Structure 1
C-alpha cells in the first residue's frame, strides 16, 4: 500500500495531482504558506472591482460644496438645516461604501480617508440635528441663547480635523497634484473655521467657508479625472500625478 503521509500542501508542491477541479493558485502568502483559495462546493466566479475613488471624491466634494454655500449665506439663507440631510446621506454613506470598496481592493489610502470624512459629515449632521439634543445641551432653556462653550467646542472639533487632514496630506505626497491641493486648502479652511469659532469672528468663518469652494473644486476635478475615463466619456481630465510613471 502506498504511503499517504504527506499532506495536501505537499501534493501541491510536488504536483502529484493537478486536475482542473483541484487546481490551486501557485502563490505563497506573506507567511510562506500555499495560497489556497479553492472553494470546492462553490462555483468559480471571475470578478473585477470598480474603482471606488471617484465615488469617494465626488461625494466628499458635494458635502464641502454644500457646507460652503450655507456657510457664506448664499442667496441670503440663514437657516442651513437642509444641508444636514444631504451630507449625512450622500457624503456620509457614499464615502463609507467607497472606503469598504477601497479596503477590499487593497487601497489603504482610500480605505482610511473615505470612511474618516464620512464620519466627519455624519458627525457634522448629528451635531446640528435637533433630535440628537447636542445643541440643546448648550442652549439656555430660559433665554434660548447658546452657551459660550458651544463655539469653543466646535473650534476644538475643527482643530482635530485639521490634525487628521494633515496626516492624510502627508500620505498623499505621492498621489496627484489635485488631491494634494485639496488637502492643502482643506487645512487652510480648518484653520480659518477653528480660529473663527474660537474668536467669535464671523469674517473668518466666511473666509473659511469660501476656501471650501476651492477644496470642492479640487475634489470634483480629482473625482472626474477618475470617472471620465476612456470607454465612458470621449474625453478625459488629466490627473497631474506627482510621481511620474516610468
Structure 2
C-alpha cells in the first residue's frame, strides 16, 4: 500500500487481498494469540490494526461495488484516529524496546501524513514503517532461534526511575 501511496507502483488490486488476509486476518489471529498469552499490549495492537485492515478491505470492496461511498473526509478522520491510537501506543513502547519504539513512531507519522492528505509523503513514511516492522519481526525470530539478544531488542529507550 505504501508503494502505491508513494507513487512507485500503481494499481490497488494486490493490496485488497493482502489487506484482508495478511493485514487483517493474520493480525486478528496474532491478537487473539497475544490475548491468550496475557500480553495486553500485543493483543490490543494486533487486534486493532487487524480490524483496521479488515475495515479497509471491506470498505474498498463495498465502495467498488457502489454499495457505500467513501468520502475523503471520513477516510482522513479514520486515519487520524488511528494515528492518535498509534501515538498513545508509541508512548507505551518507551518501556519496551527501541525496535518497537521506531515502528510505532513511524506508523503514527504515517497515519497523520495520510490523514492530512499528504499521500506521497505518507507512502514513503509507510515504507520506512514497513522496513522497521520487518526488522523488528526478524530480530525477534533471530533472538528466539539463536538464543541471544538481537540489536534493538535489548533495552527500552527510556527507563523509569523510582
Please report the TM-score for the alignment, with normalisation by the length of structure 2. 0.86
SS of equivalent residue, structure 1 residue 106: coil
SS of equivalent residue, structure 1 residue 74: coil
- Number of matched residues? 156
CA drift of 1:240 comes to 4.0
Select which of 99, 123, 134 maps to 1:209.
Answer: 123
Counterpart of 1:222 in structure 2 is 136
Counterpart of 2:4 in structure 1 is 70
SS of equivalent residue, structure 1 residue 228: helix
SS of equivalent residue, structure 1 residue 172: helix
Counterpart of 1:30 in structure 2 is none
CA drift of 1:133 comes to 4.0
- In the alignment, is residue 95 of structure 1 matched against residue 27 of structure 2? yes
Q: Encode CA deviations 1:89-142: one digit per residue, 9 max, x unaligned.
A: 01211111211111111111111110000011111111111xx2477333xxxx
Select which of 46, 56, 59 maps to 1:114.
Answer: 46
Please report the TM-score for the alignment, with normalisation by the length of structure 1. 0.58
CA drift of 1:237 comes to 3.1
1:156-171 equivalence runs, <5 A: 156-171=77-92
Contact persistence 1:178–1:240 (CA under 8 A)? no
Which ranges of structure 1 fall in alignment gaps of 5 or more residues?
1-66, 139-148, 197-203
- In the alignment, is residue 185 of structure 1 matched against residue 117 of structure 2? no
CA distance in 2, matches of 1:191, 1:92: 21
SS of equivalent residue, structure 2 residue 95: coil
1:104-183 equivalence runs, <5 A: 104-129=36-61, 132-133=62-63, 136=66, 137-138=68-69, 150-183=71-104
Larger Rg: 1
Q: Of Structure 1 and Structure 2, which has the larger fraction of its residues in helix?
A: 2
The structure showing larger relative contact order (alpha-carbon pairs under 8 Å, at least 6 residues apart) is: 2
CA drift of 1:73 comes to 2.7
Considering only aligned residues, what root-mean-square deviation do their CA atoms show, in Å? 2.2
Which ranges of structure 2 fall in alignment gaps of 5 or more residues?
none
Counterpart of 1:82 in structure 2 is 14
